[in-house]
């Protein structure tokens, strides 16, 4: 199957975008089994919909185009996204999560210091999104609608949680929540800079990220020093956290 030619501006091309380029999309269009489940259809269509969304937005046109490229009936494709455009964005972000994890398996990421792990994971997301900034812009505009605010918060939390889990975090107290909230804010602000970054290899975005991560690490160091001199008291947050990591 020949991949649809996608228009991109000169700034959105380059080596960092290759994993999400035409070859990747062609591969995604060829992985469906003969009798796919809705989850398999959703996973295969997600990056293809995102590629079309730069021009058509996340909607029926992008869905129909993606479905045609993988040979799926449009009506069946719609069943894979019962929430409509919002679910299309959700599936695309899940695809980014999976691609990030595939690039950094635990044994590879574990060789880095914690600060380097988080920085590396966010920068990997930047690389994966490098060729689809207009699609990301449309996705974020969709999630910014008041009716989508709860879902936007859920997706932001999911991204931060995924990165911390890959980084090896097993905190069971309030740190479990504060780390994800802080990283979610850092990631969100970094994406805002990334969308309008015209520097080479997104150098301005990477520098912005480095400054934010430095601030987070200073805050984490302060928290550890404070905790070392405090008395442990019963904590609802710690109890709930331990339900996530039983036996710790």
Structural domain includes residue 207: yes
**Confidence at residue 168, expressed as pLDDT on a 0 to 100 scale:** 93
Q: What is the reported pLDDT for 13?
A: 36
- pLDDT for 174: 83
Q: At what angle do helices 114-129 and 203-228 cross, to 10 degrees?
A: 150
| Residues 6 or more apart whose Cβ sits within 8 Å of residue 160 | 179, 180, 181, 183, 184, 187
Q: Is 1 contained in some domain?
A: no
In a domain, 155, yes or no: yes
Whether 237 and 177 have beta carbons less than 8 Å apart is answered as yes
Give a three-class secondary structure readout of 11-37: HHCCHHHHHHCHHHHHHHCCCCCCCCC
The tens digit of pLDDT for each residue in 54-104 reads 999 999 999 999 999 998 999 999 999 999 999 999 999 999 999 999 999
Per the domain annotation, does 3 fall within a domain?
no
* Number of domain units in the chain: 1
Domain assignment of residue 2, yes or no: no
**Whose structure tokens read 């339900």?**
243
Q: Which domain holds residue 206?
A: 10-244
Confidence (pLDDT) at 172: 81
How many CA atoms, within 13 angstroms, populate the side-chain half-sphere of residue 191?
A: 24
Q: What is the pLDDT of residues 193-236, one digit of tens each?
A: 999 999 999 999 999 999 999 888 776 666 666 666 655 566 65
174-195 and 203-228 are packed helices; what angle lies between their axes, rounded to 10 degrees? 160
Percentages (nearest 5) of helix, strand, coil residues in the chain: 75, 0, 25
Which pair of structure tokens corresponds to residue 18? 């290759």
- Listed range (16-20, 84-88, 134-138, 203-207) with the worst mean pLDDT: 16-20
What is the domain-level CATH number for residue 156? 1.10.357.10
* Assigned domain for 5 exists: no
Q: What is the pLDDT of residues 141-199, one digit of tens each?
A: 999 999 999 999 999 999 999 999 999 998 888 889 989 999 999 999 999 999 999 99
Q: How many CB atoms lie within 10 A of CB 13?
A: 13
């Amino acid at each position: 199957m020949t991949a649809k030619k996608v228009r991109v501006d000169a700034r959105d091309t380059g080596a960092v975008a290759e994993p999400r380029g035409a070859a990747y999309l062609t591969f995604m269009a060829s992985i469906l089994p003969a009798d796919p489940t809705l989850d398999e259809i959703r996973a295969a269509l997600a990056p293809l919909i995102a590629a079309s969304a730069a021009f058509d937005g996340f909607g029926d046109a992008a869905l129909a185009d993606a479905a045609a490229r993988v040979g799926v009936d449009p009506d069946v494709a719609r069943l894979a996204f019962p929430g409509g455009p919002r679910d299309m964005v959700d599936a695309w972000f899940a695809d980014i999560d999976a691609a990030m994890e595939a690039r950094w398996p635990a044994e590879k990421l574990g060789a880095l210091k914690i600060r380097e792990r988080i920085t590396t994971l966010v920068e990997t997301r930047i690389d994966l999104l490098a060729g689809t900034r207009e699609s990301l812009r449309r996705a974020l505009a969709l999630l910014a609608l008041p009716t989508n605010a709860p879902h936007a918060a859920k997706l932001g939390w999911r991204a931060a949680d995924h990165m911390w889990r890959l980084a090896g975090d097993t905190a069971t107290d309030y740190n479990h929540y504060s780390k994800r909230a802080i990283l979610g804010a850092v990631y969100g602000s970094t994406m805002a800079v990334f969308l309008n970054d015209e520097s080479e290899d997104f150098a301005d975005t990477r520098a912005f990220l480095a400054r934010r991560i430095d601030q987070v690490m200073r805050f984490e160091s302060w928290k550890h020093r404070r905790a070392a001199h405090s008395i442990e008291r019963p904590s609802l947050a710690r109890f709930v956290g331990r339900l996530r990591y039983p036996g710790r």
